[in-house]
Structure formats: structure tokens, C-alpha cells
Amino acid sequence: MERNSICSTALRNQVSAANLSGVSKSSGVSKSSGVSESSGNNNGQPGPVLITTDELSTCITTLGASITRDYHGRVPLLIGVLKGAFMFMADLARAVDLPVEFDFMAVSSYGSSTRTSGVVRIVKDLDLDLADRHVILVEDIVDSGLTLSYLHKNLLARNPASLEVCALLVRQDFQQNDLHLRYVGFEIPPDFVVGFGLDVAEQYRQLPYICQYESD
């Protein structure tokens, strides 16, 4: 199955957060976000905005319409990968004009670091049986593909009727190999990013946009 069209490519590396309304020049954090310049990770701070709130909304609406069309007459089971995908999955579910069901699993390969450990472990498993279900795995970001590859094999072993992947973000240098990404939002540069569910040491998930994370 071919990949759906990407909403757009987020390449605005030089866009300053100061150019967006209500964004602090010194931190790149929205003044209304509840995050102060002194709070958060001491080793870095949010930087230039890559994907705005409006762009996220438009993209998710497009993805929801595609899923609605592709799953007509079926009840998709959305599986969210915690914690990063929770904001994306909530908005995506509202954009799908079909009955949908939900389950969640949590895995870890980053811990509190900005670099993957290379080891994937399940922190929370699913509550539902996937047998004969039409499953859509909802990911916040596909980075090295390590986590996604592990989850794809794990879920396929549970005998779903179908299994597709919906990823909000995909790294530009990501090589698909045997991974099939049916629905993709944005391709982004290889920078570490935060916001809209993505974090560093549990910080910045609540930001309504996605921005680069600048380490000191």
C-alpha cells in the first residue's frame, strides 16, 4: 500500500519563534504556554518553530479525512503510543468521521535523554485483543525506526485483520526499509523537536506547536 501524500515538508530551520505572535524572543516558548524561561530542562530550551498550530490542525484534518475514506464501513482501532502521541491521537480521532475505538501502549527507548538508547521495552501493554481488528498505530514521530519496527512486529503477531501506521512526523533521513507508513504528516529535519506531545525529560509537551530543541 502506497504512502499517502505528506501534508508538507517542515524546512523552516531559520524561522525565528519571535516572528510568531505571542512567542518570546529569548526562549521560543509561547507567553501563554505556562512555561517560563527559567523552568524546564537546564541544558536547553525550545527554539525556532517548525510547524505552527494552524499547520498541525490543517494536516490532522487531512489525515482524518483520508482515514475516513479508507476505512468506510469499518471501525478502526487507534493505538496510541504514549506519551508523545496523546495530543496527536486526540485530535486525529476527532477528525475521523467514523466510529473509532482506542487503546494505548507505552514504550521506551529514550528515557530522559535526547538520544535513543537503542533498546526498546514495553512499559504499558494493550488492554484489548487485536485479533481480526483493523488497527492503526498512531505515532508522534518516526526517528530511527527502531521503535516502530519493534511495535509493528509485535502487533502483527497478535493477528489483526489489518495494521497501518499513522505518523505525525518522520525524519527526512529515515529509511523505510520494510516499514510501511500509510499516513504521514510532516517530514522534518534531523533536529530534536519538542511540543505537541513531544518532550525532553517530560518538559514542553503542552506547547501547541512543534519547535526545535536547542541544547546548550
Q: What is the pLDDT of residues 201-215, one digit of tens each?
A: 899 999 999 999 988
pLDDT, position 147: 86
Helix, strand, or coil (residue 71): coil
| Ordered structural domains, the chain, with CATH | 44-111+122-215 (3.40.50.2020)
Report pLDDT digits (tens) over 46-74. Answer: 999 999 999 999 999 999 999 999 999 99
Residue 102 exposed, middle or buried by CB count within 10 Å (0-12, 13-18, 19+)? middle
pLDDT, position 180: 75
CB 166 within 8 A of CB 137: yes
Cα(181)–Cα(77) distance, rounded to whole angstroms? Answer: 16
Residue 155: pLDDT band (50, 70, 90) is very high
Q: 68 or 148: which carries more pLDDT confidence?
A: 68
Annotated catalytic residue within 91, 140, 143, 199: 143
Rounded percentage of the chain residues whose pLDDT exceeds 90: 59
pLDDT, position 3: 47
Region 84-111: mean pLDDT is: 92
Q: Lowest mean pLDDT: which of 8-17, 56-65, 107-116? A: 8-17
Q: Is 143 among the catalytic positions?
A: yes
With CA atoms as reference, report the closest residue to 26 among 12, 36, 14, 41.
Answer: 36
Whether the pLDDT of residue 166 is over 80: the answer is yes
pTM above 0.75, yes or no: yes
